Structure 1
């Protein structure tokens, strides 16, 4: 590995150095060799992956650390938070010369653990491992994982479960909540911290007339694009607290997430979300709310040539780009999924009509687009109670496509509509087998989700292509991990 330790150069008030505490009897879970190669891991590193991914081996070039940050959780100020069970164990350069964080989850308690034990259990570790893999291969910016290890050591949650560790990678672990913590507790650190964020992640902003405003605009833009991509693949994060969004617009912190199956935009995938704050349909507006809170933390960085109100207006103008950026990418992506020309004045209305049918008829989000792509119109109509509503949509759909470059539109559909998503019941089966030391289903799903846009008869099962029957209870997921 080629190390590039950047975060430790910041004020020591922002982190706490400590070594991971390995679990007893660590054993292989799953290893992502392709990602290890992308990260320039040597053969020696790959041979030692179990030791690295279980906290037994750290590096002389980087002293592990836990970050401190704060955040708003479910819309309420939560005060000081931080890495309560994770450690940044290295920052390295990948094959593209990009700095990547290696972050070990389940590594033991830290000063920021509050009442937690600093551990992770096998089920949540598998969920995060597969989620990052799935999103990356769907083209959605996300953290990834080199591998995870399991253990015979018990971890107490609602019941005693098997402990595990995950080595997560990300282009950035600096969260919106870092700025909230600094402003609340160490405001003198804000200028240097922000400057480093710009240098490390948005160096092009240094050339702007007002680098802070350029930085804010970039963070807002990337977050809007990320959330648009979530919506297009039917992904619901479940816990969009300000400490769970980073400054580079890549998905971070997988808890009770879910991929949409039957199209229910108000589906609560986190059973702790009693007020439905973080449902699929709320994600765009919550992203806006989080960024509005974050921008308030940039107010103290007002340049000398700006009046207070003028600076506030300038920051507000940055946020005004959020909605059009989101809509631009969402509308374009939806047109591609539908096989409609994005420039046509009626394409978006037609797409919305299709989504209303999916919602009314409770049809599967992913497979309905695949059926549309494969022109299985009768199959969709047969699943509809209101067949006339579908016929009306189909008439408009075919009218818009008439005279267009159908080959080009169909090619766009094939790159925009995954055959496979990570359904909760798929993961549950993998978890249940893994808890019996059988990781074959993890391996199968990992392989299947490596190419989600390609039909893979050799690896798929019928359960991969459809939601559970309506009379079978959904797999419920909690924040417990």
Structure 2
């Protein structure tokens, strides 16, 4: 073992019943090379970033891990595109939980670290492109103020990864409040009440300690997760983010965005936009995300039924009552965010229909989602066909009347603070990853620096421009992470 590098590891997850974890060994990568390190994140975690950098890729060698760390693979299940399967960390290892100087607890996980008992025939490794994609998009989501896992570093492993073609191997270090998923509770429910109870108690103690002394704390757990997910999905929708693979194993109990495999952002607005190559039926399309979130939460509720009441009918009645709150909670969050995006601070002045009327206009004219909101008070910056549509003119006049001329200045400031100038445009993401695979990280670093400041106008206007409708129509993302 080596020095601590500022890590203060604790391992409470291993206190759960042994079925929840499998011991695993980190593969030793002898020819690893540093690609990117998140210095600001390291500082926020209280790590010694200089010692980490000087240690020559501490996570590249299974015999050279920070003092106090372990290496375990977590078990979980998941509904993948609606089909239930047993899963687990097939190419990831949890090193432990880092406790920061201000007593916050974060999982430190390696992705692409080699095979585990859950690899199901896979090699356990990862490719450079998908690891850099997760780093880039998660930093963008974080900068937009949306809860997310983050990436501390990406290294190349020095060994090839064999997929459809031969790719550069890579490993990412992910930081998360935890990796407890809806799928973790589904795994627990397969093993009986004791496992569900142990996991629920652990989750409450770790994430929601205020629930510990409540009379119905397990019902409180479901309600809390419903709250967090309604807020998270509303935030995704407000910036045009499409997760792409909303399986139950990719829904975090603590309400963070997790797993950036086939994710992408909307450009030209269409409710049924799908980019994922494997989502052939559009299950996880942009407009379906709130529906799928509710479906996933129902699966979470099913796993908790045994804790709600011994009478299954009473337990189901409780669960259904709580699940029925999701739509209202989500809609309240979404309308509140979208109202601010169009300059109206008091969302009670408008309803869902008023926002959807504008979205319908964007779809009708094939307008860009991000720039249309950002430039709503600068009509000459909007799509020409949109501003000459009589329906839009009437809608916009109503919007301005709701704001009031005397409030236009403060309204504009609010709009500028919630409507990003830049998002990771799909064509720019792909170009940066292509260049990185060819040994040039300059394009990636430039794009990263721009998306880390989404509300600032970039010097280069190319970061503002969407790709062509033809590009977006044929653009496909892949589950590489």
TM range, smaller chain = over 0.9
Alpha-carbon distance in 1 for matches of 2:408, 2:55: 48
Q: What RMSD, in angstroms, separates the aligned Cα atoms of the two structures?
A: 1.9
Q: Confirm or deny: 8 A CA contact 2:43 2:49 kept in the other structure.
A: no
2:142 match: 136
Deviation at 1:316, TM superposition (A): 1.9
User: Of 77, 93, 97, which aligns to 1:70?
Assistant: 77
Deviation at 1:44, TM superposition (A): 5.4
Q: Confirm or deny: 8 A CA contact 1:125 1:164 kept in the other structure.
A: yes
User: Of 261, 265, 271, which aligns to 2:267?
Assistant: 261
Deviation at 1:318, TM superposition (A): 1.8
Q: Confirm or deny: 8 A CA contact 2:39 2:49 kept in the other structure.
A: no
- Could you report, residue by residue, the CA deviation over 1:336-383 in whole angstroms, capped at 9, with x for unpaired residues? 1100243443364332222111111111100111111xx221332514
Alpha-carbon distance in 2 for matches of 1:302, 1:318: 12
- Could you report, residue by residue, the CA deviation over 1:403-440 in whole angstroms, capped at 9, with x for unpaired residues? 56333322221111011101221111111111122111
User: Of 339, 346, 349, which aligns to 1:345?
Assistant: 349
Alpha-carbon distance in 1 for matches of 2:180, 2:54: 28
Alpha-carbon distance in 2 for matches of 1:12, 1:274: 38
Normalising by structure 1, what TM-score?
0.94
User: Of 105, 123, 127, which aligns to 1:121?
Assistant: 127
Q: Confirm or deny: 8 A CA contact 1:258 1:424 kept in the other structure.
A: yes
2:57 match: 51
Deviation at 1:193, TM superposition (A): 1.7
Alpha-carbon distance in 1 for matches of 2:458, 2:101: 29
Alpha-carbon distance in 1 for matches of 2:166, 2:383: 47
- Which stretch of the first structure deviates more once superposed, 112-121 or 400-409? 400-409
Check 1:88–1:237 CA distance in 2 against 1; reply closer, same or farther (3 A cut).
Answer: same
1:320 match: 324
- Which stretch of the first structure deviates more once superposed, 343-352 or 417-426? 343-352
Structure 1 gaps, min length 5:
none
- Could you report, residue by residue, the CA deviation over 1:42-89 in whole angstroms, capped at 9, with x for unpaired residues? 2454325652343453234121100011111101112x1000000001
Structure 2 gaps, min length 5:
1-6
Alpha-carbon distance in 1 for matches of 2:457, 2:431: 21
The count of corresponding residues between Structure 1 and Structure 2 is: 473
Q: Confirm or deny: 8 A CA contact 1:36 1:46 kept in the other structure.
A: no
- SS of 1:384's partner is helix
2:12 match: 6
Normalising by structure 2, what TM-score?
0.94
Alpha-carbon distance in 2 for matches of 1:160, 1:180: 35
Alpha-carbon distance in 2 for matches of 1:253, 1:291: 18
Alpha-carbon distance in 2 for matches of 1:316, 1:419: 41
Is 2:330 the partner of 1:330?
Answer: no
Matches for 1:395-414 after TM superposition, within 5 Å: 395-402=397-404, 405-414=407-416
1:360 match: 364
1:86 match: 92
Deviation at 1:149, TM superposition (A): 0.7
Is 2:417 the partner of 1:415?
Answer: yes
